[in-house]
Each structure stands twice: as C-alpha cells, then as structure tokens.
Structure 1
C-alpha cells in the first residue's frame, strides 16, 4: 500500500480504536460523583469498567473470524452500531444495573476496534515494517485513554457525568460515517484462504510462540488498566485532589509510553525483538519496584504514584508493539482470528484483574505496586520460556 494509503488507514484505525479507549477511562475523574448519584460505592463503579472490559474482550473472538470471512469493513460498521446503542443506554442510566448493561453493550461494540487495530496492519505489512507500523499505531492510540479523563472532567462539569456517554454516542456516529466513506477494504478473502472458524482458532492457539507473546501482552496491558482503575481512587479518595487536577495528572505517564514505543520503532531496524523485549521488561520491573518501595515507606503523593507509572509505561511502550509483532508475524492468512485472540484475551484478562482489584484496599500505593510486580514476574517467565532452546523460533529483525 502506498504511503498516503497508510496514513489514511492509520487515521481510521486510530479513531476507531479511540472509541474503545475513551469509553474505558472517560469517566475516571467523576467515579465518585457517579457513585453518589447512583447510591453505590466507588468500588461498584470499578465494576462498570471491569464489565466493559470483559465484553470488549469477549466480542473480539466473534469479530475476528467474521472479518477473516467477510472482510474488515462490514464488520466494523456493525460493531459501531452496537457501540452507539450501548452509549445511548448508558447515557439514560439512573441505576447501577442499567449502567452495567449499557457498559456491557458498549464493550460488545467497541471490540471490533480492538481486533482491527492489530489485524489491519498485519494485512498491510510484515517483518520489520510490521514492527514499525505497530509502534506507530501504539504511539498514537495511547493518547486517548490518558487524555480521556481530562475530556470527561470537562464534559461532566458542563453536563454532569451522563454527558460523557452522550459524547461517546455522538463520537460513535461520527466514526461510523468516517469508516463508511474513507476506509477501503484491506482484506478481500478468497475461497482458498477461507477457513472454518474452529479450525482457524485451533491453528492459532496451537502455536507456542503466539501463546507466549499473548500472555506477555495480557499481563502488560493489565498493569496499565490496573493503574488507570486504581490511581483515580488513590488521588481522589485518599489524597483528596480535585478531579480536574487528577484528570491532568493522568497524562503524565504518557510520555513514558511514547518514548518506549518510539524506541521500539527505532530499534526494529538493527536489533532483534528479543533485545527490545528485554529492555522493556527491565523497565516494567523497575517501575513496579519503585511503586512497592513507595508503599512500604508510607510515602504517598501524586508523584510517588506517577513517577513509577512513567517508568512502567515506558517498559509497556517497548513490550506492547514488539510482542504484538512477534505474535502476528507467522499468521498472515489468519490475522483476524489472531488479532481477536490477542485483543480478546488481553481485555478479558484486564477486566478480570480489574474486577479483582476492586476488592483490594486502597489506603496507599503498595497494593498497586505488589500487583504490578506480580504481573511483571509473569512477563519474565514467558520471556524465559521463549528463550529456552526447545522453544526458540526465528523472529523478525
């Protein structure tokens, strides 16, 4: 595809993915207001985020094989219609069960973006070019989940918290129109490449390399989601910071992730994916331990939370596009199913971890630091399995 075509597709993918990312964190600064209005606890509102992530992850298992069979564009349009309906239901929600239902439907719709953010780039590129493309996408789409709280804070100040969901509905309608008019199909399935969904899943899940890197991605993204779910409560409920300030502070870890993704793209030409992953894992461990040390020393401040998060995000910026490339590289004809497994398992895992985190006491950052450390240990274990001689496979440079 020509360079101009790449940026056109990139714009569509970024905006499509933003639907899911905005939905996940746009209401973080007003979680306490939502809890008061619905007469529930802040931990109950965390369950809204968790349920969204679970449906967001589950739906990707459906969208992946459908997009391999019918093409990417029609499936994207269907998913966006579902997202618009869920946003409208959440906008009118006056009870927690109705909000949970609307959030679940939102996730069933935005799951299509989770698949396409990985699949479309695999349709277009392979090897080092795929690594750089994934890094580029990673750098751009990371803006939305961290900037979303600032947007949500401003919207809620004008329209109360329900306004966040009305905004998402309008954003979904605009995205549907953009996809319909400016997105050209990147995958035109042929009869010889069409595979039974069960056989396709069996092929993908039977690859050891794919499974190891999928687990790496699950625990890495879970750490980011766990920070997003926990940091808001620590800053608002424990440190008693204004919600407007909290929404701005959420942006501070962003340069760390951007630096990591930029470095991953730069290193793709001259270094193996293993070397890039190793640097990322070291940063994940350093950020986790800094959070633990702050908690053990009973020193709690916004910077004691955000500086370790910055380091952790830098590691995630290196690991995320690199592990995605390593997982998708061997599967050009099953990219939809592979992207579905990557996205689906990541978000199902993140949702379950966030749901578990809603039961953790949040008196300081120590529980968050311990959780991040445990997740990093899993990443290290998967990396060691990959490096074992019996599991080693050539990876793209």
Structure 2
C-alpha cells in the first residue's frame, strides 16, 4: 500500500467515536443517577441479538457465501436487521467479504487484512478511503444484484439505517416510559456492542485461537469468541470450508446462527443447507496434525538424526493409511446412504457390500485410534 494516507471518512469517524463515547460515559452516568430496569436490559439483549443474527445468518452465511437459501420473509427480516446493525448495505458488505476471502492476508487486496495490524483489521480500514473502488465495483456480487430485497435495501440503506436506529429505540422508549434510557441503551449501547463484536471476527479471530484445519492464513478457531459473535468464532474452519452453513460443526460448539438456520428449515423458511463433506474435514485436521508434528520433530532434534527420520516416516505411513481408510469408508458410506434411500439395504445382492461397509468402518475406527495414540505420543 502507498505510504501516503488516504482521506478520512469523516462520517465513519464520527459514528464510531461518538457512539463509543456516549456508551462509555453516558451509560454509567445514566445508570447511577436514573437507572435502568430489567425490561430495558432485556430489550438491549433482544435488539443486540437481532442485529447480530442479521449479520451472521443474513449478511454473512446467506448472502456473502450462499450457504443456504431463504424465503422472502427471512431475507426481508435480515435486511432490516442489517440496516439496524449499521454495517453498510448487504451488497457492499458482501462484496468486501468476498474480496477478503479471495485475498485473505494480502495487504494490497484484502480490505481488512490482519497482517496490517489489530487496529487496522478491527476498525481502521473503515476510517480511511483505502480502496475507493470498494464503493463502486460490485462485479463480484452479480448474483446478489438479482435479489430484489438486496437491491431495495441498498437503494434505501441510508433511510433504513436512520429509521431503525432511531425509530426502534424510540418506539420502545415511548411504550416503556423512558425515551432517553431507551435511546441510550437500546440505541447507542446496542450499536457499539453490535459493531465491535462483529469487528472481532476481522481482528481478534485472526490472532487469538487455534488452527486445527489450516495454517495457510491467519484465521483462528476460538470458542470464547463464538459466544460473543453468535457462533462466528470458529474462523479457521470457516476460512477453509466457507460454503458450509455451520461454523461450529460439533454438537457442543456454540453456534446459534447454525441453530437458527437449521430450525427455520423445518418450517420451510430456509432450504438447501450446504455442509462440507465429512471426509474432507477429517483429512484437513489430520493433515495439520502431520505438518505440525513433522515440524516439531525436525526442530527439536537434528534433522539428520536417524531416529527422527524414522519417527517422521512412521508418522507419514500412519497418515497415508488413515487417508486411505477415510477415503474407502466415506465412499462406501455414500453408497450406503443411497441404498437406504431406496430401501435396498436388506436385499440379498447387497449383503456382501454391507459386510464390506462394516469392515471398513471398523478398520477406520482402529486406524483413528492408532493415529491418535501416535500423535499423542509425539506431541
């Protein structure tokens, strides 16, 4: 990037600095002299959740990555919530995010490259006009330009942002009987929380956490961040398997965005939920384990040491066996699913295959145990 700093985006500077100052100073003062009740706190949580899920389930997983499809009602709800979150229009947000994934960590092309530093990736990239074309070139979102709700929201984004950010808190304040408290808590505090928890994914999730699937970029998995970002904290997984509607793929991983999308599918609001193949996920994890252990064994001992070379060869052999058994099992599993759909699993001609399938499953389980014991020993 050029050493000459581009011009400041004064509207963004004002919104971020003013809202943070009011939230940090005004909230404790108002709480001390007047106070908030639990209804106001509850409405803060509801509004914050609405904004957050509109970004994660709508802007991110629906529009940016097309990980599922949603009907017009869901898309409209997310479009309004996105304007309420005040993070620009769907079209602009998705365009930036697609560029980020295509050029992750590239300082010249990634809009919020983590390698430019924490402040830059968190908020700095929005304070100056680093890439003027970001506001005119949406060629990477031609599919979204066919969505009438996306284009409607983009056209009226400014009006929608003002109406939602002032209108929603004001209506609640009139009904509840405390307009200033509502504007402060549901308006400003909610906005600051919505902004910075989302921004954590661009900044903190690229510096804090583990990399179980790949170290080709700075993205990290962080279960703590998942609690602050409606499940977006499993960022290393997401950057490798970006077309998966899930970020937390285990049942115990906190991912309310995934739960919302899945729950809505039962009622027909969402459909065609995309998931990454299980074999690709397992292979990616095993590959990272192999790479790390190879590097560790090489670094902690003389690379020419015969014992070290023997251990590395053993690791590689066990890894190749694991890859082979994973491929065999999941290919058989795919056929098994097809047979079950056609109710052919009990037919005599498939008996031999059923036996082979069970054997493959058993052999994979045994190889997984062997790999786990070996990697634990070397780790």
TM-score higher than 0.5: no
TM-score normalised by L of structure 1: 0.29
Is the helix fraction higher in 1 or 2?
Answer: 1
Higher relative contact order (CA 8 A, sep 6+): 1
Query: Which structure would you say has the larger Rg?
Result: 2
